[in-house]
Structure 1
Amino acid sequence: MTEPMHPLRIAAAPISWGVCEVPGWGHVLPASTVLSEMAALGLTATEFGPPGYLPVEPDRLRELLAPYRIAAIGGFLALALHRDPPAARTAARASAELFAAAGAEVLVIAAATGDEGYDTRPQLDDHQWRTLIDTATDIRDIAAGYGLRTVLHPHVGTLVETGAEVERLLADSDLELCLDTGHLLIGGTDPVALVRRHPDRIGHIHLKDVRADLAEQIRCGAIEYSAAVRQGLFVPLGDGDVDIETLVRCAHSGGYRGWYVLEQDTALAAEDTAAGPTRDTERSLRRLENIGAALDSAGPRNERIRAAGA
Structure 2
Amino acid sequence: MVNWLLLKHPKKLIKFQLNVIENSTVVPAQFSLFKKRVKEVQTLTGLRQGTTKLRDIVSRVMVDVKALAPLDPADPSTHATRDEQVQILQRAMKELYLIAPKALSKVDEDEAIQKDAQAFMLSTKTSVISPKDGEFLVHDMLDPTKAALQSPKFPVLETCRQVRKYLQTMGAAQYPDLWIRYCGMHTRTPEKLSWSCPRPGDEIKGHYLEFVDIARVLGDYIVVLKHQAAKDTPQPIDIARMGDPCCAKGCKHLQEHMQHIWPNHKIVGAVTIQEGSDVLTETFDAGLFDPRSNNLRVYLQ
Report TM bin, short chain: under 0.3
- Tell me which of the two structures has the higher relative contact order, counting C-alpha pairs closer than 8 angstroms and 6 or more residues apart: 1
The TM-score normalised by the length of structure 1 is 0.24
Larger radius of gyration: 2
